Amino acid sequence: MSGATGALTADPTWDLLEDDTIVILGRAREYLSGLTDLIEECERDRRFPAEIVRPLVDVGFIRGPIPISDGGLGLTHLQSASLMEEAGRAWASIRTTTNIMTLVAELLSHAGTPDQKKEFLTPLLSGDRLGWFAITEREAGSDAGAVATRAEPLPGGGYRLSGVKSYITNANHGDFGIVLATVDPNLGSRGITAFLVERSDGYRTIEHPHMPVRAVSSCDVELDRVVVGPDRVLGEVGRGLSLAMHGVNGGRLNVSAGCVGIAQACLDASRTHVTTRKQFGKQLAEFQLVQKMVVDIATRTAAARELYRSSARLLDSGIDARVACSMAKYFCAETAVAVATEAVQVHGAIGLTEGHPVERFFRDAREATIPEGTSQMQILQIGRALLGVSALR
């Protein structure tokens, strides 16, 4: 590994990674480290800086896992997830945004026609378009099969979309999205179909300010009789839900890695704080209880990192890693929450101050237990795999 990225190879969390992965992470960290001033401004103003998308693409985000034949980099799951750890460590809003755009790119690469790839995927991978993915509704969150947004078939072969999607990341600043809607409610999940929708088609977004990842938009997307042509069906009619599941392992893995990034940031901040702040005439680091808190943060972070990396390696080997990715998502998300809580405690009153990094880590960690399947849904899916009994249906 010597000489791969100069001084950056000193990071002990990279010790077991291959040289090419270290180079990728080094480039990403170098870019992300220059965003510090932008973070405070955008979090305060709840603004997503669209100007950073192209540089993020250049260092490997979004196009990383896409095959070279489609304009991507062909990165492994481990490499892509490791990038997401870097994003989580620097700014969780980037991890959230790029994870969704990566999912959109993966679905287009997997199921898009040549024309769809030319119109949507190619500009997405160059940073010229911003995409979003809409499956969730007020009454269809964990139960994705309950999608009620309707896609009414038209005589000319197109569809009229009507319904409201909720909590949709990127929709406020993105210019196109993938919408899951049913062509026939009587068919249940077998009627759910994926459609490509552009802003010019006439959908409306309503922003909902939220507690975590404040530089990311979270919107309702209102589709009021939005008409799309037959060429906007992504994949096969009635196969939208299975298409969405195509990217589920990668999505959960990316969230897991981002959570480890948050945990690592908590560890970095806590170590600096306890070795520079004094109380009762000595460093905080000299107190036994403080040492225990920092040790717990470090141990949990290391364990979570090993779990997501082992899951990534399973995916890269071609093994069915659904359970492993669910375990990683469950454990890493809950670890981020626990670690961020400890980091706030380590910092004391200043850790509760809005604008302080650990206050942001705490909010962002809490978000991770919900998207890409809540912790409770992961437990139920893992339980079904282990016990052979479903607690859902």
Which residue is catalytic, options 86, 119, 359, 372? Answer: 372
Residue 363 near residue 344 (C-beta atoms within 8 A): no
Token pair belonging to 69: 């034949």
Let me know if 372 is a catalytic residue.
yes
- Residues in contact with 300: Cβ distance below 8 Å, sequence separation at least 6, in sequence order: 263, 335, 338, 339
Sign of CA dihedral 135, 141, 144, 147: negative
Per-residue CA distances from 316 to 250, 267, 312, 319 (Å): 11, 29, 6, 8
Distance CA 314, CA 252 (A): 14
- Residues in contact with 114: Cβ distance below 8 Å, sequence separation at least 6, in sequence order: none
CA atoms within 13 A on the CB side of 203: 33
Distance CA 292, CA 273 (A): 14
Per-residue CA distances from 390 to 1, 327, 371, 382 (Å): 46, 17, 21, 10
Give the catalytic positions in this structure. Answer: 372
